[in-house]
Amino acid sequence: MSGYTVAVVGATGAVGREALEILAARRFPVARLRALASPRSAGLRIGELTVAPVAADAFDDVDIAIFDTPDDVAEAWVPVAAERGALVIDNSAAFRMAPDVPLVIPEVNPAALRRAPRRIIANPNCTTATIAVPLAPLHRAAGLRRLIACSYQSVSGAGQAGVSQLWSEVRDAAASAAPPAAPGGAAFRHAIAMNVIPAVGSFRGAHTSEEVKLGAELRKMLDAPDVAVGVTCVRVPTLRAHGVAVHAEFSRPIAPEEARAILASAPGVEVMDDPAAGRYPTALAASGRDPCVVGRIRTDGAGALAFFAAADNLRKGAALNAVQIAEAVVRDGFLSEIRAG
Ligand SMILES: NC(=O)c1ccc[n+]([C@@H]2O[C@H](COP(=O)([O-])OP(=O)(O)OC[C@H]3O[C@@H](n4cnc5c(N)ncnc54)[C@H](OP(=O)(O)O)[C@@H]3O)[C@@H](O)[C@H]2O)c1
């Protein structure tokens, strides 16, 4: 069989399982597929695959390794995979801000794929991806200067543990007809069922790690180092798809009609914007789907362009984007160049 040897590291997790499904659904040319995870999962079956523990020789002959593991695991194993000759596409935050690691969304900055001297390409954070896809064409048209954003992030953004905690609390709440008295898991510090939590990630002074990532990653991908970004990230009790309310100022004003026209022809964006008919992006409208869905496009009371964007955090926010990167490097002939070093 012709095709590539692909390893998915973190194959048992929320993103890893999605990556396996997307590789199959998009018919990525896979000759051999390796599902890797921690030693805890060794021997577990995922469809026809048997999970193996991550190990150096598991990367022998691997063309592309998609990493869907926590940051510390990526820090330890991504260099090993790259050293053994694989192109690594990493979903963790471990390498995103390294100057010699491209941080890429194919619809936003595909040219950055040309230069991956460490054989590592990073995927952005899922909240960043949700707004970078629609902001990129608006930025190209009018120059983004300042951004205020508030996120509404699903529990799967915290992995399988987040999903399990919400279901456990929902069952208890339904049985007792009362909000949960205590967290039903360790993914979130507070109960998440029937709650919203204005803290995603860990605190870095007054801001959270998620809030810091959003500004830094957006500036890197848009190549817009001077854009001022103010963010509040909030966890909400949805299963998947992150929503973000965006208020953006540009070097010249963009009227809602112009923004709608730009977004309607932007790759990866679906405009869903007929509020009177109840058509605007919701988490469920974006769940299990590929596009970043954008609506509520308007000029806000302060003169900024406002919109609401929603995208599936496990797909465009992670696994889909990784597979699209793999497709792009294969299609554009960069894979052999990058692997040759
Ligand atoms: N969830 C999202 O929406 C999202 C979006 C963008 C980026 N990301 C990033 O993607 C990565 C994966 O997130 P997730 O949500 O899929 O997390 P998850 O559901 O908790 O899955 C974590 C995966 O990592 C594996 N793993 C943990 N420790 C390991 C070790 N010592 N050695 C090898 N494998 C190990 C786990 O294997 P076991 O099952 O064997 O423990 C599991 O397969 C994280 O860096 C996350 O920040 C997530």
CB of 129 closer than 8 Å to CB of 104: no
Catalytic residue among 139, 242, 247, 292: 242
Whose CA is closest to atom 3 on ligand 1?
157
Nearest CA among 129, 130, 22 for reference residue 66: 22
Tell the CATH topology of 4-123+318-340.
Answer: Rossmann fold (3.40.50)
Q: Tell me if 70 CB under 6 Å of ligand 1.
A: yes
160 Cα: distance to centroid of ligand 1 (angstroms):
8
Does residue 37's CB lie within 6 angstroms of at least one atom of ligand 1? yes
Q: Which CATH architecture has domain 127-313?
A: 2-Layer Sandwich (3.30)
16-47 core/surface letters (b: 16 or more CB in 10 A; e: else):
bbbbbbbbeeeebebeebbbbbbeebeeeebe
Q: Note the pLDDT of residue 2.
A: 80
User: What are the residue boundaries of the structural domains of the chain, listed by start?
Assistant: 4-123+318-340, 127-313
The CB of 317 under 6 Å from ligand 1? The reply is: yes
Q: Is the CB of 105 under 6 A from ligand 1?
A: no
User: Which stretches of the chain score pLDDT less than 50?
Assistant: none
pLDDT of res. 247: 98
* pTM recorded for the entire structure: 0.97
CA-to-CA separations, 209 to 17, 183, 185, 212, 242, in angstroms, rounded? 25, 22, 21, 5, 17
- Alpha helical stretches, state H, 143-193: 160-176
Closest CA to 341 of 113, 60, 97, 82: 82
Handedness of CA 31, 37, 42, 47 (dihedral sign): negative
Does residue 242 have an active-site annotation?
yes
- Is 190 one of the annotated active-site residues of the chain? no
- Residue 202 C-alpha to ligand 1 middle, in angstroms? 17
**Whether residue 66 has its Cβ less than 6 Å from ligand 1:** no
Summarised one tens digit per residue, pLDDT across range 298-333 is 999 999 999 999 999 999 999 999 999 999 999 998
Q: Looking at ligand 1, which residue's alpha carbon is closest to its atom 2?
A: 157
Assess whether the region 4-123+318-340 and the region 127-313 belong to the same CATH fold. Answer: no
Dihedral sign (CA 58, 64, 66, 70): positive
Residue the block writes with tokens 């949805």: 238
Using the mean position of ligand 1's atoms as its centre, give its distance from the Cα of residue 197 in Å: 22
Instruction: Give the distance (Å) from ligand 1 centre to CA of residue 167.
Output: 19
> Is the CB of 92 within 6 Å of ligand 1?
yes
Residues 6 or more apart whose CB falls under 8 angstroms from that of 165 comprise 155, 183, 184, 185, 186, 187, 188, 192
Q: What kind and span of H or E run contains 298? A: strand 292-299
- Written as one letter, the residue type at 141 is A
- Whole-number pLDDT of residue 334: 86
Quick: pLDDT tens for 256-295. 999 999 999 999 999 999 999 999 999 999 999 999 999 9
Q: Residue 244 has what pLDDT?
A: 99
Q: What is the pLDDT of residues 102-124, one digit of tens each?
A: 999 999 999 999 999 999 999 99
